[in-house]
Structure 1
Amino acid sequence: MPEHHHRPPSALRLFLTNQSTGGLVLIGTAAVALLIANSALGPAYEALLSTYLGPMSVIHWINDGLMALFFLLVGLEIKREMVDGQLSTWSRRILPGVAALGGMAVPALLYLAFNSGPTARGWAIPAATDIAFALGVISLLGTRVPASLRVFLAALAIIDDLGAVIIIALFYTAKLSIIDLAGAAGVVALLFALNRRGVRRLAPYLLLGALLWLLVYRSGIHATLAGVLLALAIPMDGRPGQSDDESVSPLHRLEHALHIPVGFLIVPLFALANAGVPFLDLSLDALTAPVTLGVAAGLLLGKPLGVFGLSMLAVRLGLADAPAHASPWQMFGVALVCGIGFTMSLFIGLLAFPAAPILISEAKIGILAGSLLSGLLGYAVLRLAHSERMEQARQGA
């Protein structure tokens, strides 16, 4: 009898499972942060985050340091899907690509309809979808959501993340240090040289990656982008279906190693440090401030309009096929879920208004309100759409 090798689950299956469960953890962590910030523990919570550990405060170590690993994982996912996954051919990229483009442009325009002058700098806050949160909501519906829609959502969110990374690099970069930037470019060149020479051990890449993070941090570009640059240099050869670790691509090894700590430790820690908005200290004006309304409207209205509108247009024009076994109502439900913009939106909010705590608080309120309503409405529409399809199937039978 031929010997059968045990094949581990596919990267996409693990990705969807881990991200879905991580999303549920994230929901709980965000709730805890809000409770702490609005309790007697609030001042101690703020003091702890402001405490310095070496050159940076605790919140900066989380946002600039640990989140670089989140961006490393994002970069690995983008590269894998573009090379050997759901985004590996142009026909597969068209629908999620068009949807992601609409889902970034329309929320940004809606935000700008409410904001001008200094607050217009926050235009990109509602342009990002939180993949962990979104897949967490979808996971609550189980088999009521076709598998094709889960893959569509994952692909859309990955392209959306790529767009957010580009936006951060282009629009939210402080004054540049040319010397450090040149050093970072040199390290990136070394990383790609290792790749070209066929080096498959991860240690040299990770050591150079740590140096890259330091140089990017000092250069003025946001330090977390070092994670994406490192990801692009990690080799993706080998056969991910094999059980022998040495035959598995370095990219797959690193990606599988990062999923659990990023999804269940780093991103929840980021939420715990950044989602706590002390509502009791805010005036009622903060709830109706242009930043709050622009972010909430961008997520709740802009995301579904952009994602669903451009997706349906692409399908109608024959540029792309609709996801298999998915009704237009189910597509609309997924488009609503895309309005959950938690992690990346919070991150961009911090970059947009670094010296304006009140604007950051308003952005957080908009993010929390818009994301919560988007998640609830998306869940309700997907549940109703499934019931309608079941009823039609019964009548057809």
Structure 2
Amino acid sequence: MTARRHPFSPLATLATRLFGGEAGAGILLIVVAIAAMIAANSPLAHGYHALFHATLPWTPVPKLNTLHLWINDALMAMFFFVVGLEIKREVIDGELSSPARRRLPVLAAAAGMAVPALVYLLVAGGEPGLANGWAIPAATDIAFALGVLGLLGKRAPASLRLFLLTVAIVDDLGAVAIIAFFYTAGLKLVWLGWAAAALAALVVLNRAGVTRGWPYMLVGGLLWYAVLHSGVHATVAGVLAALCVPMKLDAHGDSLLLRMEHALAPISAYFIVPLFGFANAGVALAGLGIEDMLAPLPIGVALGLFVGKQVGILGAIVLADRLGLAHRPEGASWRQLWGMALLCGIGFTMSLFIGQLAFPASPLLVEEAKLGVLAGSLLSALLGFLVLRTAPQPLDRPPGQRDG
């Protein structure tokens, strides 16, 4: 007997064949970012803006009356659903499944969020109205970072990729918490009540042992609709729904969570995230002067990503290793860990997303935040790749020599 095939499986297979692995996802995001910048600064600019921001002639959800809102509030909820599935799998049966395994990634991710936020606040926090952007450089883009790492092939040890993935997953969990607790305004209790009822229904489905996908998708859609109108950002519904999907393995070593993740992860990586990037990464430079590009907001975001991430993550690993709290990943040198910490400074998707939430009433500040995200992510990607590309390999060191 073979495992049931998820209805999204053909799309997932097509996406994987078209782009081929993590390196393909990273390359696609680079192409998308470049395309967005070209579109926003060319004769196509008016059409680019109208495509995403013009009012739709009809929408089934009146609150989402532009394509941009559908991407940011609906498709990104699906992205966060996939993130939630991955987090649950790692916590139950992965690198976060035991205290010993999760100690170092949690410490590194926590420091990797706190230090960039501190750097941002030191640079831009004193300016009126800018403190709300503290979380923009705190996030890491999993797909982009792993994509750059994938370009290195065997020059990056498997333990480094696994550690980067684990840190990024914890980072995503922190980003979800930040969105839920710090970027929520005007709560509507009636809608929150409906959301709680939908969440309770998902828990009941799980406890009842329901292993078919459609009931979870149906009730999850209702949960998303209620959260969308509640004042909490709609993407939080994606994570909550994912945490209710059953992970328990059947006789064939399969589960609904694994099937959903396998089917949806390529669609998220190769369609949703690139579409979000194209819709949000375009910065119209014509309206920005040198004083805008060098303003505290973009500089604070860029330094938070480029400096704060590497200092926070590498510093946490060094301290944990020296104090005996946790050992650094086996087979990875300190230089390689530095390169990995640099790659965590690629904020892109998550940072662009939080930037939209931080300054909803100020398009200029959103554009400035985008500049900082793109600059910090680009610097982190280039230097991280260079450091890892030039790092000595284990076979290059004399026997018995300690990693350096």
> TM-score normalised to the size of structure 1?
0.92
Q: Are 2:349 and 1:343 aligned? A: yes
Which is richer in helix?
1
- The question of whether the paired residues in 2 share the 8 Å contact of 1:33 and 1:272 is answered with yes
Tell me the distance in 2 between the aligned counterparts of 1:255 and 1:348: 24
Aligned pair partner of 1:163 in 174, 180, 183:
174
- The question of whether the paired residues in 2 share the 8 Å contact of 1:18 and 1:260 is answered with no
Tell me the distance in 2 between the aligned counterparts of 1:73 and 1:386: 35
Aligned pair partner of 1:71 in 80, 93, 101:
80
Q: How far does residue 283 in structure 1 lie from its aligned partner after superposition?
A: 0.9
Residue 28 (structure 1) aligns with: 31
Aligned pair partner of 2:186 in 175, 179, 201:
175
Residue 392 (structure 1) aligns with: 397
1:67-106 pair list within 5 angstroms: 67-106=76-115
Tell me the distance in 2 between the aligned counterparts of 1:151 and 1:297: 26
Deviation string 1:38-89 (CA, Å, 9 cap, x unpaired) is: 1110111001111233222010000001111000000000000000111111
- The question of whether the paired residues in 1 share the 8 Å contact of 2:342 and 2:383 is answered with yes
Query: Identity percentage over the alignment?
Result: 55
Tell me the distance in 1 between the aligned counterparts of 2:215 and 2:400: 62
Tell me the distance in 1 between the aligned counterparts of 2:396 and 2:85: 42
Tell me the distance in 1 between the aligned counterparts of 2:163 and 2:215: 35
Q: How far does residue 394 in structure 1 lie from its aligned partner after superposition?
A: 8.8
Tell me the distance in 1 between the aligned counterparts of 2:89 and 2:222: 24
1:291-370 pair list within 5 angstroms: 291-370=297-376
Query: 1:80 corresponds to which letter in structure 2?
Result: R
- Is the alpha carbon distance of 1:134 and 1:308 closer, same or farther for their aligned partners in structure 2, counting shifts above 3 Å? same
Residue 9 (structure 1) aligns with: none
Deviation string 1:124-171 (CA, Å, 9 cap, x unpaired) is: 000001010100110111100110000000000000000000000000
Q: Name the SS of the counterpart of 2:175 in structure 1.
A: helix
Higher deviation after alignment, 227-236 or 274-283: 274-283
- The question of whether the paired residues in 2 share the 8 Å contact of 1:145 and 1:386 is answered with no
Tell me the distance in 2 between the aligned counterparts of 1:395 and 1:323: 18
Root-mean-square deviation over aligned CA pairs:
1.7
Q: How far does residue 21 in structure 1 lie from its aligned partner after superposition?
A: 2.6
Query: 2:145 corresponds to which letter in structure 1?
Result: A
- The question of whether the paired residues in 1 share the 8 Å contact of 2:22 and 2:150 is answered with no
Q: How far does residue 174 in structure 1 lie from its aligned partner after superposition?
A: 1.6
Aligned pair partner of 1:276 in 282, 289, 297:
282
Aligned length: 376
Deviation string 1:338-397 (CA, Å, 9 cap, x unpaired) is: 10001000000000000101110110000000000001001111112136x55434998x
Q: Are 2:189 and 1:186 aligned? A: no
Tell me the distance in 1 between the aligned counterparts of 2:241 and 2:52: 28
Tell me the distance in 2 between the aligned counterparts of 1:78 and 1:395: 37
Query: 2:172 corresponds to which letter in structure 1?
Result: D
Tell me the distance in 1 between the aligned counterparts of 2:81 and 2:340: 26
